[in-house]
Structure 1
């Protein structure tokens, strides 16, 4: 097994069962200096999961619209967005590995207000996101099979499929499914970018930072929208599920994280190319929201024929369903740990070997699946959408700020605390998301 940890057996001792990184407690305490395991492509996994979850249909539309409106001018913003998310995911994974605890337990150690905020946020967010994810996954299926059943039925089917996979699949199976989905996404979108023949000099010029008039909103959206929100906090749980449990895995985690977000960066750049070459030149506008991808499907059919349009819809489904499945798994892990932490008198519950089997995990998957089906049939209530938007806008500044707090204090062993580069990137991320938060709140409240 690639992730197995070899250990020497004292002379004369009796052989026992194989000891692996998933089952063997670290020989040294959390945060102690331990041998760093070498990174390799075979060990990449949790980063791919968090990247596949974070890039959904809405991110594709936002990137396409930026390309359609401004061409390659904001290409640099997509690159900055990847760097910011690398810093956030690395900080989350490092906290889990260096302390032997979880981000929820870290928040509990700061203040009960932190865990209280998360508890309110995750319940409201989960209810509305459930409907959003099911609708996004249903749209390409309804377009591919228009006469089979209506959109709400496709959405409900996707939700139930996500539920079944979340509660029955071990992490290894879940990771393989997510890898296949992001592979389909990547091949389809990069293939489209090649098909539309990008203007290479214009692409390179887009790497030079500049802000044309009226581009601030697009810029913030590109930087902040590349690769996830609440699912960033789930990265540490997927790292642990992979069998990476101590500081000896930090180097591997960093490699995994960078590979994943470089892949995401290529993916986002490819979408910007499609928007710039296919939509900008023809002055074609897309519908806001996930339905904008259906507009792109029609443009592709007119220009390249039905085969290309069909392949694109398959990629659209892979992007949307990977986000659904990642949230069904990752955010349910967060909720299960939240319940266990709040029930623990010390705030540090014993680590569950298979948290996906726990009642809180399964209860939250049910919460994501069945109550939101009501929103598939009716317009989403304004007050609920407002609460969802406000809480969602506040989450990323909360994550960046609490990671700065946790990783610069005695809660983390000295050798794994933030260095200057991590602090600079997390401060930059926090300021960015505060500005995004203000802009989003202004939009919702107006």
Structure 2
């Protein structure tokens, strides 16, 4: 990638921990995008059923996410090509799969993200219906991504991470967790009936298609050579450790406030938690929690609108390269950047067609199709990274060692099990 090499030559790799901390950004983008309202509800449900017992699963899941995102970032920094270019080398079927997935997933996720962002706003300001708050959130995200550039979006997302940290972790502190029980929760145990929740905490929280976008955010940041490997690893670990802290905080809240309670298994479950906080601590406790709920949901919307649109734009670029022609990547910035037509076309696709779903009650068949394709993405990502980072196309410094290969193999096994379980559940 000629343009990218020149960029990396004029960008100095920071030296010293303060300078390195100031460079952190793509990892925070991944942290803010990867944890959505649905993930927090799933964690809250686990806490309500098993208390602190499953805290250890959050740690394991954080390690798995760090391993996956590190592999994505390492491929971008060392191979001289993008993730989509690497997938193209595996066969055209890979591009067919990803293109179909991106189109279906984007249509349904667009409506889901807008609805999740509108819920807390509707709870705070009920004079406007949920449907129209959702549309307003979609339009706001659209304008931010359409006109904003990476630096602005990173600042906005970092601010949302700060709000999420203060509100979600603050709520966990407010409910005065039992520290002894929390410490015991880091000892691996499997209570009866907990396996599905353990697998969900390990494999589901913070793990979506946006993990594949991480490498594109490092490129947008200006990290475009192997000299940035150590910086990328610090950034990635910081982002997913932050994600782990959010999840632990939500598990604590579920354990303390909702233990042995039957709660709603949807985004509405977070509204129930807000009502519980209001009943126990006063209406003031409900407001910051709902603000945090909005930060979690809307940051995921913005991250997907930007990150997955970058993925789709690069998919379109690689798809149009004739078979047998090598992808040099020299046209990436021009054909797959934020100013490109495919990028903007996918942003439009995420925003406006899904608004129709906000006027339907139960788009069941589309949800089934989305669920099947979505369940298959994470094992697809783990499997392709294993192949690509052990191939001749990966330079020596980019190839996976025993630790990375071991963690990616465990991820592949876990995500495959979860995919099969979800597919069986949809068709039973």
**TM-score w.r.t. structure 1 length?**
0.91
Q: Is the 8 A contact 2:26 2:214 kept in 1?
A: yes
1:24 aligns with 2:7: yes
1:275 aligns with 2:257: no
Which position in structure 2 is the counterpart of 1:192? 171
1:266 CA drift (Å): 1.2
Segments of 4+ moved more than 4 angstroms: 20-23, 34-39
The unaligned stretches of length 5 or more in structure 1 are 1-19, 28-33
- The root-mean-square deviation of aligned C-alpha atoms, in Å, is 1.7
- Could you report, residue by residue, the CA deviation over 1:99-149 in whole angstroms, capped at 9, with x for unpaired residues? 1211111000111111110000000000000000000000000000001x2
1:330 aligns with 2:307: yes
1:36 CA drift (Å): 9.0
Which position in structure 2 is the counterpart of 1:202? 181
Task: Name the CA distance, whole Å, in 2 between partners of 1:287 and 1:436.
Answer: 22
Which position in structure 1 is the counterpart of 2:41? 61
1:35 CA drift (Å): 8.5
> Which residues of 2 match residues 163-178 of structure 1 at below 5 A?
163-178=142-157
Which position in structure 2 is the counterpart of 1:300? 277
Task: Name the CA distance, whole Å, in 1 between partners of 2:285 and 2:47.
Answer: 20
Task: Name the CA distance, whole Å, in 1 between partners of 2:6 and 2:273.
Answer: 48
> Which residues of 2 match residues 390-405 of structure 1 at below 5 A?
390-405=372-387
- Could you report, residue by residue, the CA deviation over 1:182-201 in whole angstroms, capped at 9, with x for unpaired residues? 11011101111111111111
Secondary structure at the counterpart of residue 233 of structure 1: helix
Which position in structure 2 is the counterpart of 1:6? none
Secondary structure at the counterpart of residue 338 of structure 2: helix
Task: Name the CA distance, whole Å, in 1 between partners of 2:115 and 2:332.
Answer: 35
Which position in structure 2 is the counterpart of 1:146? 126
**TM-score w.r.t. structure 2 length?**
0.95
Q: Which of 370, 373, 376 in structure 2 is aligned with 1:388?
A: 370
Which position in structure 2 is the counterpart of 1:317? 294
1:357 aligns with 2:339: yes
Task: Name the CA distance, whole Å, in 2 between partners of 1:200 and 1:22.
Answer: 50
- Could you report, residue by residue, the CA deviation over 1:59-97 in whole angstroms, capped at 9, with x for unpaired residues? 000001100000011100011010000000000000000
411 and 21 in structure 1: CA distance in 2 versus 1, 3 angstrom threshold: closer
Task: Name the CA distance, whole Å, in 2 between partners of 1:343 and 1:98.
Answer: 24
Task: Name the CA distance, whole Å, in 2 between partners of 1:193 and 1:170.
Answer: 34
1:225 CA drift (Å): 1.7
312 and 22 in structure 1: CA distance in 2 versus 1, 3 angstrom threshold: farther
Q: Which of 388, 413, 418 in structure 2 is aligned with 1:436?
A: 418
Select the structure that is richer in helix: 2
Q: Is the 8 A contact 1:234 1:331 kept in 2?
A: yes
Task: Name the CA distance, whole Å, in 1 between partners of 2:215 and 2:372.
Answer: 25
> Which residues of 2 match residues 402-421 of structure 1 at below 5 A?
402-421=384-403
Task: Name the CA distance, whole Å, in 1 between partners of 2:361 and 2:147.
Answer: 32
Q: Which has the larger radius of gyration?
A: 1
1:366 aligns with 2:348: yes
365 and 203 in structure 1: CA distance in 2 versus 1, 3 angstrom threshold: same
The unaligned stretches of length 5 or more in structure 2 are none
1:84 aligns with 2:64: yes
